[in-house]
Amino acid sequence: MPTRGPLAAWNPGLDDTVTLRTAYDAMPGDDSAAIPWYVRLLENPASPVALPGAIDLLGHDCIHILLGRGTLPPDEAFVIGVTMGASGQLGAWQEKLFTLGARHLYRGGFRFSHTDLEVFRTAVAFARDTGIRPLHTLPWRDLMHRRLGPLRASVGIDPRALVAAYGRERARWPAGAAARRLPRSPSPVTAGDPDASHGHDR
């Protein structure tokens, strides 16, 4: 996960009016080959020991957009936590295994701090409590034309609940760079959900 550069500065917010494709194309590119083996081991669906909610990089990036999270470590922790929590398959031992791996196996900018682990646990609970659909099973390439407001609604992501959760995160870690830039209000949803052109995949 980047801690500097264009991707670290990227912050999608909770704009309901644009399509997933538009938001995705505005995200600075990142090569999936740069994802280290220890992250792939637990988080890639092709891994034989992948944990519940494992998803490819495209889907993971799309979930960042739906949740309005950037790519700083607490953002990654929240996105992963929501994805695992929404899977409907995450057991206590699997949650514990991930926290151990993220804290002790992951290296460099991928390693979770104690704060990141707390954000992760909060996100797991948030996904379960708010009834978010399993996000790792969605056909993300087929959803690129959807506007973000209706798309969030269709998968059970309530921007008002997100904003409330982000307010609690900001209050708990007021000095955190990720917390300070969390969305403070949802944007209004525009009427309809017209198709848009499918551009290229990153």
pLDDT bracket for residue 186 (50, 70, 90): confident
DSSP state string for 55-108: --HHHHHHHHHHHT--SSHHHHHHHHHHHHHHTS---HHHHHHHHHIIIII--G
Indicate the domain borders of the chain: 6-180
Over residues 73-111, the pLDDT tens digits come to 999 999 999 999 999 999 999 999 999 999 999 999 999
What's the pTM value of the predicted model, to 2 decimals? 0.89
Q: Which two tokens stand for residue 54?
A: 């494992």
Average pLDDT of the residues of the chain: 90
